[in-house]
Structure 1
Amino acid sequence: MNGLSIRRLAAVLLCACACSWAWSPAFGEAPRTAPVEIPKPLVPFVPEQPIVSAGALRAGMRGYLLTVLRGTRPERLPLEVVDVVPQKGEVSRSILVRLLPSANNRVGGVAQGMSGSPVYIGGRLAGAVGSGWSFSDHNLALVTPIEDMCAVFSRPDRPARPLGRGPSPRGSGSVAPLSVAGLDGRSAERLAHVLGVAVEPTPAGASKALEVVPGRLSPGEAVAALLVWGDVEVGATGTVTATARDGRFLAFGHPFLERGAVNFPAARARIHETIPSQAFPFKLASPVSLVGTVTQDRAAGIGGRTDFFTPSVSAALAFTDADQGGLRTVRNFRVVPDAFLGGRLLQGVFSGLMDDIWRRRGQGTMTVNLRIDGRGVDRGWARKNVFFSEDDVSSAALREAARIWDLFLLQPFADGMPIGFRLEVEATEEPRVLFIEDVNVSSDAQPGDTLNVGVTLRPWRKRPVHKSFTLTVPKEASGTCELLVRGGGINSLPQLALEGGWKSIDSLDRMLTEVGAMDANNELVLELLCDPNVIKAAKDGPRSDDRRGGSSDLLPEEREFLSETKARRIREGTLRISRSDYFVDGMMKRLITVKGEDEGEQ
């Protein structure tokens, strides 16, 4: 595995903190293995409309911009050129324009959502509205020259594989603020923190699932670039600047997220109204239908195509409120197939949905079932865990899932393609916690003996319960053995072979197996440790090379994956794992003296 994936595995498997997901291609699936790609020659973007360069413009020249103010039909707003402003960076200069008084200019100037609106001077396309200023004269705006926008397509696309505001110009040298529908303000703030960009909650959103409606886009038409869509929508709405005969289009006049070559869905949008504001006017918009794919996200704008549709990751949350009589709520959404962005989107959206549906945050217990179905996981993969927190159980419940999401999104194996992710959560304010209160076992034993272990567990503020287990003393044991009884999230069994560098993850199946082998919070674990080296390794990690004589000196746990160690020790009788519907808390130890028959007779 590459270094990045190894670090991700270390974060998940080696930590094994007790603290699922699914993809579904929206429009087809990738081949089982990625074919060798032959680079295609780049085709320059040539607008269907005649153009004029920024260098040919002079102060006082008049023209208009084309944009949708309400509904879906573009309208003209007259303007004049104020000056051409030199700039540093990929956009070498901007055109400063001023909107002129007109019947259509009813909100007092440029509004958020007009980004990308084509500007025509003397009947020729000069560029697109790129930015304006908050708390200023909104009739003034900077226009990104069309020649700079056409250069968006000077870099190759990435083939799709299934799978705050201030006085600075808005959209100039920064990404577009994202709008989010389907989450409340607090949840939008959490999503903004996860993504590291400004996120603005909006009441507008598609009234039903977005359907694919093939067709061409037109200059001045409202268009949305989406990251999440369905019961939750995250994206940004702008305007189409120019189109080419081959179906490509330019829009926005500034970056979306400035992520370079991308595969983000593009959707036609409807403008409900353009709303005046002293801070900055804005368009209230909703996506209408999927029309293509954004393939370039650059400083001068976004570019895309209407001749193909990117696959997507589907996700579902089934949330049951145990305190409301088992009230069940289901939310479905789709996420862009971006390996480096998808995990953060999933974390932010799931976290927000859980807060919104539960209508509270704070202490409580959540039972989480994660499931993956897809290519490479033909029989499906599932994991159950229980989480308790005294202050924010939603965050605690998603911490492990977020690590696993990242791990799956960044896994390097070509034969794996998750196509269905489902997260089922049952929540209650009640602390469903079992505390380990006492352990009873004989203090003496002989090699090969069966130990009867009694464990007293106390549910929170309820009468204790008693459980009985058996363990087997190894036949080669002598001296002192340590009996450890603990909750699965405490002193979890380590991946000594991975941590010490004696093993590596070399397949998706192995990765899934080892993720599934991690201890869970709802497990009561009984371990009988009789080898002093194993006890020390479990506490301190694998031994360094200067403390071993060679590979033959390796402990069994250093030759095996954790899943193999667990299976072996369960067969031997030195490990017992009992699963429950509670968060198991606490740890207790007992020492057992193992004597041979000769020692017992003395």
Structure 2
Amino acid sequence: MRNILRSAAVIVFLTAFGTLTFGQTTASAAKQSGVAIMPLADVREGARGIAKTVFRGSEPEDFNVEILGVVPGAVGPHQDMIIGRLSGALAERTFVFAGMSGSPVYIDGKLIGAIAYSFPFAKEPICGITPIEQMISIFEQAPAAKPAVAASAVKFSDITASRLSFDAPLTFSNAGNIVSGMATDSRMSSVAGQTFVPIATPMTFSGISQTTLDVFAPQLKSIGVMPVASLGGGNKITPLKPFDEKTLLGGDSIVVQLARGDISIAAAGTVTLRDDRKIYAFGHPYFSLGSTDLPMAESHVVVVVPNTNNSFKLAVADDAVGALTQDRATGIFGTLGQAPKMLPVKLAIVTSRGRNEVVRFESCIDDFLAPLVVNVGALNAIAAQERGMGDMTVTLNGTISIRGEQSVRIERRYTGNQAAALAAATAAVPLALLLKSNLAGIDVTDVDLNFSIAEGSKAASLERVAVDRTQVRPGESITVNLFIRTDGGNLETRSAVVAIPADAPSGPLSLMIGDGASIQENAAIKQFTPISAAELIRTINLAKRSDRLYVYGYRTVAGAVIGANEMPNLPPSMLATINNDRSVGGSKAATQRSVIDQMLADGEYLVTGSQTIAIEVIR
């Protein structure tokens, strides 16, 4: 009995202490911000108040809110939702619109929370309100920086991928769109409109064409983003604007920038509360990034567009004033006066008409968002200068610079009607790989890409090969004749001289002639696993190009691949040690020994396919 009483006393003390601490946190925020806060426990059904948001320009306007009730645990454990009905001429014209997220709600002059959720296709402007207490408390617990995470597994297929893999995790911020009807093939589409979902975040794309947006619209919508093409170009890259007592107050329009410069990508919402330098907004997750570092800027609203499906706010970013540092279940959190780290991107283009164009912008640095921004920016830059239909040939040279490490070199050529899309993704793929690997020492500092474009297709296939002799001695050379069939049906012939290494062992030797992708299909390097940043970068740079032809001479042997290092012709004792029954992992079997690995001279056509011919090395 005594133990039971002691345990009960401890529980009562902890509960009281937690309540006291939570109350002190909320009271502290209220005291510093000068805004009185109403505890959730005091919110009553039938209470009436006002909310603030910007409908046009930069000044918030009031509209009415009636409290319908409170739903405990609606968002998650200890994360409740207040249900309200909006009224007033402005609110009844637009209903709950994309960009209203974060609009503060006051009862008797006290802040109760942020408008953050809505019913899709509702006939009345009913909204879900995130309690301000829960918005504040979750960020009081936030870590100062991103915690260290283990390195992610990297496969060779990731390095040679031709498209950016858009594998966004399913989170609460985007799961709602599955039932809201954005995913038309969802099994849950029948219950669309029967659940609260986070208000869609209107993402304004300035300096980006609607054609480019249409390409990426499915991926953007799948993560809860409403893409909106804005009139005009991007915005200038400027230092942080000094903040004052009027900067980003409750009800003001706020944007979070993913890119700025010649192109601008910014998500619009509303400030819920400013507490000294602390900014609370949205009331629901942005991307659920956790700890992050994105530019936070003031903005003005051009117009709120009434829409039968989903009204939205068209906002334009003004001066950056701080950084968004947290993105969690009950909203986003930023700090005024804190400059975010950005990734400079330069795109230089020589058009098919010989004209030189340069596009410069800064991208956020995030393993999920940065590759997408670079992909969008590169495709948009090409599409803005070239025709949208028909074949073209795009040559790309560039670098991704990493602090303290060798740069990633990018050299590719693409042809056909998908050339622009493939070239645009070429820089995004290794950038995503570098950022997602989580290997120590990867600090990407800039991306510099140069595109040269010509109209027409230069595609061809390797039809057959022939050699001038089938027996050769070490140190000698043979001539390989390549018979290439162009897309136009013409047969062209190329010759290449292949040197046999002086130390080549005698015996049969297979010569495989083909494009880089075909050559690497059975190469031992496909089994590699990087163990350091330097090894990953080196492997990316050594990966064979799909637009070039190679001669690969190999013999069948017993060996192993350890990390990214091929170890052929191992003695039986070494193989037994590596593959002993008392250990597993760390190495992978290799059955080929590379004797010749030669890239052929570049030609007029991009040749695909492969052919293999056998020769014999004699002494």
Change (3 A) 1:139 1:594: closer
Please tell me whether the aligned partners of residues 204 and 230 of structure 2 are also in contact (alpha carbons under 8 angstroms): no
TM-score (norm 1): 0.76
Q: Which residue of 2 aligns with 1:336?
A: 364
Aligned counterpart in structure 2 of residue 588 of structure 1, from 611, 614, 619: 611
Aligned counterpart in structure 1 of residue 122 of structure 2, from 133, 136, 160: 136
Letter in 2 for 1:469: V
Q: Which residue of 1 aligns with 2:208?
A: 183
Please tell me whether the aligned partners of residues 271 and 284 of structure 1 are also in contact (alpha carbons under 8 angstroms): yes
Change (3 A) 1:439 1:214: farther
Please tell me whether the aligned partners of residues 367 and 386 of structure 1 are also in contact (alpha carbons under 8 angstroms): yes
Distance 2:537 2:215 in 1: 29
Change (3 A) 1:243 1:533: same
Measured against aligned partners, the alpha-carbon deviations of 1:573-601 in whole angstroms (never above 9, x if no partner) come to x74542346422233333334444xxxxx
Letter in 2 for 1:533: V
Q: Which residue of 2 aligns with 1:23?
A: none
Asked if 1:65 corresponds to 2:65, the answer is no
Please tell me whether the aligned partners of residues 175 and 257 of structure 1 are also in contact (alpha carbons under 8 angstroms): no
Change (3 A) 1:148 1:457: same
Measured against aligned partners, the alpha-carbon deviations of 1:9-30 in whole angstroms (never above 9, x if no partner) come to xxxxxxxxxxxxxxxxxxxxxx
Determine helix, strand or coil for the equivalent of 1:464: strand
Determine helix, strand or coil for the equivalent of 1:343: helix
Determine helix, strand or coil for the equivalent of 1:426: strand
State the Cα distance separating 1:360 from its structure 2 match.
Answer: 1.9
Aligned counterpart in structure 1 of residue 548 of structure 2, from 509, 515, 523: 523
Q: Output aligned runs, 1:285-364, within 5 Å.
A: 285-322=315-352, 325-355=353-383, 357-360=385-388, 363-364=391-392
Q: Which residue of 2 aligns with 1:8?
A: none
Of 69-78 and 230-239, deviating more is 230-239
Report how many aligned residue pairs link the two structures: 530
State the Cα distance separating 1:547 from its structure 2 match.
Answer: 10
Asked if 1:93 corresponds to 2:80, the answer is yes
State the Cα distance separating 1:491 from its structure 2 match.
Answer: 1.9
Q: Which residue of 2 aligns with 1:262?
A: 292
Asked if 1:226 corresponds to 2:212, the answer is no
Change (3 A) 1:440 1:585: same
Please tell me whether the aligned partners of residues 488 and 523 of structure 1 are also in contact (alpha carbons under 8 angstroms): yes
Of 309-318 and 194-203, deviating more is 194-203
Q: For structure 2, which runs of at least 5 residues remain unmatched after alignment?
A: 1-20, 148-176, 182-191, 579-585
Measured against aligned partners, the alpha-carbon deviations of 1:219-260 in whole angstroms (never above 9, x if no partner) come to 111101222333333332111111113x10111122211222
Distance 2:73 2:92 in 1: 31
Distance 1:483 1:228 in 2: 48
Asked if 1:242 corresponds to 2:273, the answer is yes
State the Cα distance separating 1:308 from its structure 2 match.
Answer: 0.7
Distance 1:393 1:535 in 2: 39
Q: Which residue of 2 aligns with 1:467?
A: 495
Letter in 2 for 1:518: A
Please tell me whether the aligned partners of residues 375 and 417 of structure 1 are also in contact (alpha carbons under 8 angstroms): yes
Distance 1:576 1:108 in 2: 62
Asked if 1:112 corresponds to 2:98, the answer is yes
Question: Greater relative contact order (Cα 8 A, min sep 6): structure 1 or 2?
Answer: 1
Please tell me whether the aligned partners of residues 317 and 423 of structure 1 are also in contact (alpha carbons under 8 angstroms): yes
State the Cα distance separating 1:286 from its structure 2 match.
Answer: 0.6
Aligned counterpart in structure 2 of residue 126 of structure 1, from 106, 109, 112: 112
Please tell me whether the aligned partners of residues 558 and 570 of structure 2 are also in contact (alpha carbons under 8 angstroms): no
Determine helix, strand or coil for the equivalent of 1:396: helix
State the Cα distance separating 1:394 from its structure 2 match.
Answer: 3.3
Letter in 2 for 1:107: R
Q: Output aligned runs, 1:475-486, within 5 Å.
A: 477-486=505-514
Of 82-91 and 262-271, deviating more is 82-91
Measured against aligned partners, the alpha-carbon deviations of 1:93-148 in whole angstroms (never above 9, x if no partner) come to 3333333435x557354432222111111111111212233433454322222112
Q: Which residue of 2 aligns with 1:430?
A: 456
Determine helix, strand or coil for the equivalent of 2:337: coil
Letter in 2 for 1:510: E
Letter in 1 for 2:608: D
Please tell me whether the aligned partners of residues 439 and 533 of structure 2 are also in contact (alpha carbons under 8 angstroms): yes
State the Cα distance separating 1:496 from its structure 2 match.
Answer: 2.8
Q: Which residue of 2 aligns with 1:508?
A: 533
Letter in 2 for 1:587: S
Letter in 2 for 1:550: M
Distance 2:291 2:507 in 1: 64
Distance 1:386 1:151 in 2: 52
Distance 2:275 2:542 in 1: 53
Change (3 A) 1:478 1:546: closer
Determine helix, strand or coil for the equivalent of 2:340: coil
Change (3 A) 1:545 1:341: farther
Q: Output aligned runs, 1:346-425, within 5 Å.
A: 346-355=374-383, 357-360=385-388, 363-377=391-405, 380-389=407-416, 392-398=418-424, 400-425=426-451
State the Cα distance separating 1:52 from its structure 2 match.
Answer: 1.0
Q: For structure 1, which runs of at least 5 residues remain unmatched after alignment?
A: 1-40, 597-602
Measured against aligned partners, the alpha-carbon deviations of 1:165-220 in whole angstroms (never above 9, x if no partner) come to 54548973576354433434453344344454243223246653143213142111
Of 261-270 and 413-422, deviating more is 413-422
State the Cα distance separating 1:305 from its structure 2 match.
Answer: 0.8
TM-score (norm 2): 0.74
Distance 1:551 1:534 in 2: 8
Q: Which residue of 1 aligns with 2:66?
A: 80
Asked if 1:217 corresponds to 2:248, the answer is yes
Aligned counterpart in structure 2 of residue 273 of structure 1, from 292, 303, 313: 303
State the Cα distance separating 1:463 from its structure 2 match.
Answer: 6.7
Aligned counterpart in structure 2 of residue 56 of structure 1, from 42, 50, 57: 42
Please tell me whether the aligned partners of residues 230 and 332 of structure 1 are also in contact (alpha carbons under 8 angstroms): yes
Change (3 A) 1:173 1:460: closer
Change (3 A) 1:580 1:422: farther
Change (3 A) 1:469 1:107: same
Letter in 2 for 1:521: S
Determine helix, strand or coil for the equivalent of 1:358: coil
Change (3 A) 1:582 1:509: farther
Measured against aligned partners, the alpha-carbon deviations of 1:248-300 in whole angstroms (never above 9, x if no partner) come to 01111222112222222211110112232333332211111111111221222
Distance 1:202 1:107 in 2: 23
Change (3 A) 1:495 1:377: farther
Distance 2:411 2:234 in 1: 34
Q: Which residue of 2 aligns with 1:156?
A: 142
Letter in 1 for 2:138: V
Distance 1:533 1:285 in 2: 64
Please tell me whether the aligned partners of residues 107 and 281 of structure 1 are also in contact (alpha carbons under 8 angstroms): no
Determine helix, strand or coil for the equivalent of 2:520: coil
Letter in 1 for 2:457: P
Letter in 2 for 1:586: G
State the Cα distance separating 1:460 from its structure 2 match.
Answer: 4.8
Distance 1:519 1:190 in 2: 28
State the Cα distance separating 1:345 from its structure 2 match.
Answer: 3.7
Please tell me whether the aligned partners of residues 128 and 143 of structure 1 are also in contact (alpha carbons under 8 angstroms): yes
Please tell me whether the aligned partners of residues 179 and 234 of structure 1 are also in contact (alpha carbons under 8 angstroms): yes
Letter in 2 for 1:222: S
Change (3 A) 1:116 1:578: same
Of 117-126 and 256-265, deviating more is 256-265
Please tell me whether the aligned partners of residues 202 and 312 of structure 2 are also in contact (alpha carbons under 8 angstroms): no
